[in-house]
């Protein structure tokens, strides 16, 4: 006998200007169960979740809670009924403390305004929540001081603060460390034992396999299929998501010529907020160098220093053999070095501008140096936007669509497209495929490969080991800000990278000084 589901969605439809985001989707989740929802970027996952959390109202269709029709009047209505959404885009009040954030929006639920709550009790409760998820921050610390992973954990702690019956996690692990992710799995198991229902959205299919009791696949705003626990496999999910088998995710990399010129040379560099030990490495034309390490190892900081977002305190950076002085992103770009940043909502995009506008931003000189009249510039801008949108398969109703309205993964593609339109010498990608679906992933990899083939030096920071192994000609590993080793392609393995990333001493092959030409073996 099947129990009455905790929450059901029946034939839900939702239209946004220019796009039918949901085209008759049905879904149910039972108490004590983890349901994963997967699908390509723009499939409608977040939209459906926002409907279940009272943020959007459906155009048609129905929700049911405990078998009874449910008409949510808003997010706080949903919260009162125990339906909690942890957003894909972080949603914290940055200038408030961790404690304040944990209780924010719950005043109603708790029958008092924030100020009425006993400060000490609140702090104690906050402490309890933080230790429950194993997060080591002070309750009075400001959220703006925390790195993205810890902010995400605060969001998760906040969801636990109420008497949740359903917790929806929309890509919760995209900025978590492995340890935090493991802790999250334990929290989910715990919630299930207490009869809480969990909806889990992720593009990382190995996570889905770990967490889900059942998988529901969405495609183009419709149900594409469902998998029960013993049917869940990577291939089965991909087949339903993309509608075909995806044979090769990573492009076949070509061997790097040993005499390829060095494009980027970092010599004994130190920088503000960096490690005391200076960092040195080289990247040759046509090479893709993976920068691996645990979250917090200092990879993003290093990239920021090279891109002029952090002040260098020593050492030298050379591009194509010439020493360059990089004081700001403008001088980095002028020197031919680009960074596609990790925190794209903050650094990568103008969310209120259109797709076209965002593509054009960093290319302004390229578009205007032709010295043409405004309308010509405009039409070139339009052409460029169309080309990039097609090349990257950006799912937008038109190039005039506001970027803030695109799905998370499609925003990432716009950031990448923005940089690719330039003719860079060196490109640093920081977590290029975070939140990006498998189909788009293979396109981003193909683009990286294309850049390398055109002689660009590519540095790829990634926490996704599979991606590091799949794409890199050579891997540099950072541990606590220091380069702890270097692995040529022939010595690459998950174990070898993890060994160095966790501070293990380099073995013989990982101590190799100069880049070796990489073979075709993969
Ligand atoms: N507020 C909005 N206004 C206009 N269009 C929107 C809005 N929110 C979502 N859309 C569109 O609805 C479609 C579904 O988007 P949604 O965010 O639900 O996708 P998703 O499955 O969560 O994708 P991702 O994996 O990239 O996060 C997309 O085409 C998106 O551009
Ligand atoms: Mg989404």
Q: Tell me: the pLDDT tens digits for 262-302? A: 999 999 999 888 777 899 999 999 999 999 887 667 888 89
Q: What is the largest CA-CA distance in the chain?
A: 73
- Residue 103 Cα, ligand 2 centroid: separation in angstroms? 25
Residue 395 pLDDT greater than 90, yes or no = no
pLDDT confidence band for 521 (50 / 70 / 90): very low
The confidence score (pLDDT) of residue 89 equals 67
Q: Mean pLDDT for the chain?
A: 82
Q: Which atom of ligand 1 is nearest to the CA of 43?
A: 21
Cα 392 to ligand 2 centre (Å): 18
Most confident of the ranges 205-214, 379-388, 420-429: 205-214
Q: What is the DSSP pairing of strand 222-228 with strand 214-219?
A: antiparallel
Say what the pLDDT of residue 398 is. Answer: 84
Kindly tell me if the per-residue pLDDT of 510 is higher than 90: no
Highest mean pLDDT: which range of 35-44, 238-247, 356-365: 35-44
Mean per-residue pLDDT for 370-394?
65
CB within 8 Å of 81: residues ≥ 6 apart:
65, 70, 72, 165
Q: How many CB atoms are located within 10 Å of the residue 258 CB?
A: 11
Q: 84 - beta bridge partners?
A: 167
Q: Which atom of ligand 1 is nearest to the CA of 49?
A: 18
Domains 7-242 and 262-349+422-511 share a fold: yes
**pLDDT-derived band of residue 343, with 50, 70 and 90 as boundaries?**
low
The CATH architecture of the domain made up of 7-242 is 3-Layer(aba) Sandwich (3.40)
> What is the average per-residue pLDDT within 457-482?
89
* Beta strand residue intervals within 371-453, DSSP E: 426-430
> Which is nearest to 300 in space by CA: 265, 274, 319?
274
**Percent of the chain with pLDDT strictly greater than 90:** 34
- With the most atoms of ligand 1 within 8 angstroms of its CB, the residue from 9, 13, 15, 16 to mutate is 16
Q: Which of 257-261, 263-267, 369-373 has the lowest mean pLDDT?
A: 369-373
Output the residue whose Cα is nearest ligand 1's atom 6: 405
Superfamily of domain 262-349+422-511: P-loop containing nucleotide triphosphate hydrolases (3.40.50.300)
Average pLDDT over residues 326-354: 78
Is residue 389 predicted with pLDDT exceeding 90? no
pLDDT number for residue 41: 83
Report helix angle 408-420 to 438-453, nearest 10. 10
Identify the CA nearest to 45 among candidates 90, 88, 107, 102: 88
Atom of ligand 1 nearest to the CA of 14: 12
pLDDT of 402 > 90? The answer is: no
**If you measure from the C-alpha of residue 240 to the centroid of ligand 2, how many angstroms do you get, rounded to a whole number?**
18
Residue with the smallest CA separation from ligand 1 atom 3 is: 405
Q: Which two tokens stand for residue 478?
A: 């950072």
Question: Which ligand 1 atom lies nearest to the CA of residue 435?
Answer: 25
Domains of the chain: which residue ranges?
7-242, 262-349+422-511
Q: Which residues line ligand 1 (CB under 6 A)?
A: 16, 19, 21, 39, 41-47, 88, 395, 405-410, 437
Instruction: Among 79-93, 278-292, 332-346, 437-451, name the most confident range.
Output: 278-292
Residue 106: pLDDT band (50, 70, 90) is: low
179-183, 452-456, 457-461, range with the lowest pLDDT: 179-183
Q: The tokens of 116 are what?
A: 């009425």
Strands, sheet with 457-461, edge to edge from the N-terminal-most edge strand: 337-340, 426-430, 457-461, 288-292, 474-479, 482-488
Rounded Cα distance between 232 and 211, Å, is 11
Collapsing DSSP states into helix, strand and coil, what is residue 316? strand
Entry pTM: 0.69
Q: What is the Cα–Cα distance from 249 to 443, expressed in whole angstroms? A: 9
Distance, CA of 448 to CA of 444 (rounded, Å) = 6
Give the whole-number percent of the chain exceeding pLDDT 70. 86
Residue 161, strand partner residues:
none
| pLDDT classification of 348: cutoffs 50, 70, 90 | low
Tokens read off for 197: 């229902």
Q: What ranges in 421-472 are assigned the alpha helix state H?
A: 438-453, 465-471
- The pLDDT, as a whole number, for residue 13 is 97
Which of 203, 451, 212 is closest to 336 using CA atoms? 451
For ligand 1, mutation pick of 14, 47, 200 (most atoms within 8 Å of CB): 47
**What's the confidence (pLDDT) of residue 282?**
95
pLDDT at residue 319, rounded to an integer:
96
Ligand 2 center–CA 395 separation, angstroms: 13
| Tokens encoding 315 | 């050492």
Comparing 4-8, 185-189, 219-223, 435-439, the range with the smallest average pLDDT is: 435-439
Q: How far is the CA of 47 from the centre of ligand 1 (A)?
A: 6
Residue 521: both structure tokens together: 């073996």
The residue whose CA is least distant from atom 25 of ligand 1 is 41
Q: Looking at the predicted structure, is the pLDDT value of residue 366 above 60?
A: no
Distance between CA atoms of residues 62 and 54, nearest Å: 12
CA–centroid distance, residue 43 to ligand 2 (Å) = 8
Atom of ligand 1 nearest to the CA of 40: 25
**Closest ligand 1 atom to Cα of 406:** 31
């Amino acid at each position: 006998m099947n129990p009455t589901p905790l929450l059901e969605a029946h034939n839900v439809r939702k239209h946004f200007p220019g796009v039918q985001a949901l085209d008759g989707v049905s879904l149910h989740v039972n108490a004590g169960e983890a349901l994963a929802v997967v699908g390509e970027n723009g499939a409608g996952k977040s939209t459906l979740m926002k409907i279940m959390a009272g943020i959007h109202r459906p155009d048609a269709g129905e929700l049911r809670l405990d078998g009874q029709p449910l008409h949510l009047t808003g997010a706080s209505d949903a919260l009162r009924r125990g339906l909690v959404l942890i957003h894909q885009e972080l949603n914290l009040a940055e200038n408030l403390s961790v404690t304040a954030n944990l209780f924010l929006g719950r005043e109603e639920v708790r029958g008092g305004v924030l100020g009425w709550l006993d400060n000490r009790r609140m702090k104690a409760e906050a402490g309890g929540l933080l230790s429950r998820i194993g997060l080591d921050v002070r309750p009075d610390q400001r959220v703006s001081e925390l790195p993205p992973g810890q902010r995400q954990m605060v969001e998760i702690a906040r969801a636990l603060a109420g008497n949740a019956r359903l917790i929806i996690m929309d890509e919760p692990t995209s900025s978590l460390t492995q340890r935090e992710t493991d802790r999250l799995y334990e929290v989910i198991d715990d919630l299930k034992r207490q009869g809480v229902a969990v909806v889990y959205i992720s593009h990382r299919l190995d996570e889905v396999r770990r967490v889900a009791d059942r998988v529901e696949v969405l495609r183009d705003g419709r149900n594409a299929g469902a998998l029960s626990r013993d049917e869940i496999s990577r291939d089965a999910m991909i087949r339903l998501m993309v509608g075909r088998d995806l044979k090769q995710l990573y492009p076949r990399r070509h061997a790097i010529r040993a005499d390829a010129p060095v494009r980027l040379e970092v010599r004994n560099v130190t920088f503000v907020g960096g490690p005391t030990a200076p960092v040195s490495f080289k990247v040759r034309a046509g090479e893709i160098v993976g920068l691996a390490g645990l979250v917090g190892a200092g990879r993003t900081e290093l990239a920021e220093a090279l891109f002029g977002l952090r002040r260098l305190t020593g050492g030298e950076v050379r591009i194509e053999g010439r020493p360059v002085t990089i004081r700001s992103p403008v001088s980095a770009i002028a020197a031919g070095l680009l960074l596609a940043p990790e925190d794209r909502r903050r650094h990568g995009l103008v969310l209120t501008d259109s797709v076209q506008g965002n593509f054009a931003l960093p290319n302004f000189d390229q578009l205007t140096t032709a010295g043409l009249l405004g309308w010509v510039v405009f039409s070139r801008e339009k052409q460029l936007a169309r080309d990039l949108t097609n090349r990257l398969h950006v799912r937008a109703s038109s190039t005039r669509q506001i970027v803030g309205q695109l799905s998370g993964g499609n925003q990432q593609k716009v950031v990448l497209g923005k940089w690719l339109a330039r003719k860079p010498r060196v490109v640093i990608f920081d977590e290029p495929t975070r939140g990006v679906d498998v189909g788009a992933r293979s396109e981003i990899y193909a683009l990286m490969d294309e850049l390398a083939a055109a002689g660009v030096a590519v540095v790829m920071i990634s926490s996704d080991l599979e991606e590091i192994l799949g794409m890199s000609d050579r891997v540099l590993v950072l541990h606590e800000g220091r380069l702890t080793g270097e692995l040529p392609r022939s010595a690459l393995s998950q174990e070898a990278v993890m060994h160095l990333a966790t501070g293990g001493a380099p073995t013989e092959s990982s101590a190799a000084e100069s880049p070796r030409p990489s073979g075709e073996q993969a």
